[in-house]
Amino acid sequence: MRRSRRSYLALVTLLAVADASFEDDAEIQVSMNKAWPYSNPTETYEYYDFPFCKPKIVMPHFMTLGQVLRGDRLVNSLYPMHMKRQVPRTVICSRRMTEADIRMLKEAIDQNYMFELFVGELPIDRPFGVVSTMGNEKDEQVTDRYFLVNYLDFIIGYNEKEVVSANVTRELNLEHLVDITEWKEGMVIQFSYSVQWTPLPHIIPSQALELQLKSTMPHGHQNMDIHWLAIINSFVLMLLILSLFLLIIIRVVRSDLSRYLQIPDEELNAVEEETGWKLLHADVFRAPKHRLFFCSAIGAGAQMTSMMIMVVLVGCIGAYYQRGAVASAAVISYMVTALLGGFVSANLYQKLGGEKWAWNIFMTALCFMGPAFLIWSFLNTVAIFYGSTAAFPFPTILLMFAMWACVTFPLTVLGGIIGRHRSLKQAQAEGSPFPCKTNKLAREIPSCRWYQSPVTQFFASGFLPFSAIYIELHYIFNSVWGPRIYFLYGILLLAFTMLLLVAGTVTVLFTYFHLNAEDHRWWWRSFGSGVAVSAFFYLYCIYFFLQTGMNGFLQCSFFFLYSLLAAHGIALMLGCVSFYCSYFFVIYIYSRIKAQPPALLRLLAASLESRRVPAQA
């Protein structure tokens, strides 16, 4: 299907505020949007790509950045509508159909194509038509009859001067349909509409869009009850796991510290040689390999975490009922939090003794946006080839590049400069940023047991945190890859908090196991816990795809590549959180043993003191 080539000259901004108040007989804007197969929500096309009646001049309407990103293309329509003016069934146009037009419409009906239009700011979606099976299966005389929806019966609700609801009659009967099973020479189809106005004083105008969207979700209360029950069960399970792990960590670590620090002077001779994690005080703060990339990933993860928190908190205050509002909020949050990402990355890189700080900041800015740009470039090319509205218009591409180059990247550089100078000032005031000095030669790492292996950590640190969110993922995926709108951001905040707590706790537990096995390579392993969760997330994406009816190269490429990008973001986010949990844990335990000299040195000091006393006597 080819898309009509026209320039999108409409102004695109981040936020839109429209006046929904109308005087009597004032014109109400009716906009046609996009069309898509029900099973492939990303495969979107312009409404007028199909053989419907269209205005002589197709004019694009105002759209927010989020609407453009989700593939909306609002244009004018042939449906005149005025406030409180009743309109009987009226023919708006007659279109002569060619054989190719009928074939295209039949294929669209076979694939359950939907189209969307807006009455003011209220969206309405309807199917192209229906297929009816005629005949007797026993006589093997079964034929499919194709019926096209050519009559839209609008039912508009108003509250004084506000339009508070907009619907189209969903009960399809013969007066709403026309048979297009067989094409005939000179075939003409008439398209008509009618408008009925109904007063609805019980609907508050500020809640009109929310009620409009929720009315399209059948069995909402039943699904909500199941949703809450599943979340409560998951929350209780995660609390038990979290309590168990915290109990293990606190009891074991406190026991180690007590045996090491609270030793009476008269029992010094009985102190055994240091074992376990206490042997690594000269290696535990050794800079990891590829520290430039490591610090860049940590900084990008801090930016992704803060962006996610901002988006969820704003959703808790007021849900994103405007179409594309989540995308707009995510873009704005990502730009603003670039300052934090640069600060965290450069600060950590300076503590680890890095010298290529400019490259570190540059890699931080590209750590997420680099893969995102490569994936978007490929998918945008695929969308252009298919003529889909999923392809970004050229002005939007320029706007996105300008926002990254003029806002995100400069804020990353500014944050990096502040973070580096902060680390230098701390080094001048306090000396070493770590409680223990590092030897020049690394300690030999012994073999570990099965529960201390990286494979065990990868599975446990991935599966346990993922189990805290997999229930909520089902509802999120149904909104991202389906017609539903997600509005339960309070539950999402709860699930996100559980995810961070469990991921951090499990990572700290395995960090302790590795240090106790005399393995000081904890830097990348702690970050790898986030990668493990993202691996389970991507496996769930595959499972979700198999449960849907998605098909075609465009839809499959969009689903799997954008899911891969989401998994990359989750790896950065949870990798950063897991690393800092382990980082503060390691700082805590080794700062405690720094307060006392190592046991062998204490024995030597006691021995020297005992020899010095007789000489003085």
What is the average per-residue pLDDT within 299-319?
90
**Residues linked to residue 110 through DSSP beta bridges, in sequence order:** none
Q: Residues near 66 by Cβ (< 8 Å), separated by ≥ 6? A: 322, 323, 324, 325, 326, 327, 328, 329, 331
The predicted pLDDT at position 319 comes to 65
pLDDT in tens, 1-12: 434 333 333 333
Distance CA 101, CA 95 (A): 10
Distance CA 488, CA 316 (A): 8
**Residue with more model confidence, 522 or 324:** 522
Distance CA 318, CA 314 (A): 6
Q: Output the pTM of the full model.
A: 0.84
The predicted pLDDT at position 260 comes to 55
- Note whether 440 and 371 are within 8 A (CB): no
Amino acid at site 9: L
pLDDT at 220 over 50: no
pLDDT in tens, 476-515: 888 888 777 787 888 888 889 888 988 888 888 888 888 8
| Angle ∠(168,174,180) on CA atoms, nearest 5 | 100
Distance CA 406, CA 259 (A): 56
pLDDT at 608 over 80: no
The predicted pLDDT at position 471 comes to 81
pLDDT at 614 over 70: no
What is the average per-residue pLDDT within 126-148?
76
pLDDT at 607 over 70: no
* Selection from 369, 309, 306, 83 nearest residue 199 by Cα: 83
Amino acid at site 510: F
What is the average per-residue pLDDT within 367-388?
94
Distance CA 174, CA 394 (A): 43
The predicted pLDDT at position 11 comes to 30
pLDDT at 225 over 90: no
Q: Which long-range contacts (CB under 8 A, 24 or more apart) does 467-476 make?
A: 467/234, 467/237, 467/238, 468/234, 468/238, 468/495, 468/498, 468/499, 468/502, 469/495, 469/496, 469/498, 469/499, 470/540, 471/230, 471/231, 471/234, 471/495, 472/231, 473/537, 473/540, 473/544, 474/544, 475/227
E strands within 97-181? 113-119, 122-127, 129-134, 143-149, 151-159, 162-168, 177-179
pLDDT at 600 over 50: no
pLDDT at 362 over 90: yes
**Residues linked to residue 60 through DSSP beta bridges, in sequence order:** 75
pLDDT at 85 over 80: yes
Q: Spell out the domain ranges in the chain.
A: 12-220, 449-598
Q: What is the CA radius of gyration of the chain?
A: 32
Average pLDDT of the chain to the nearest whole number: 82
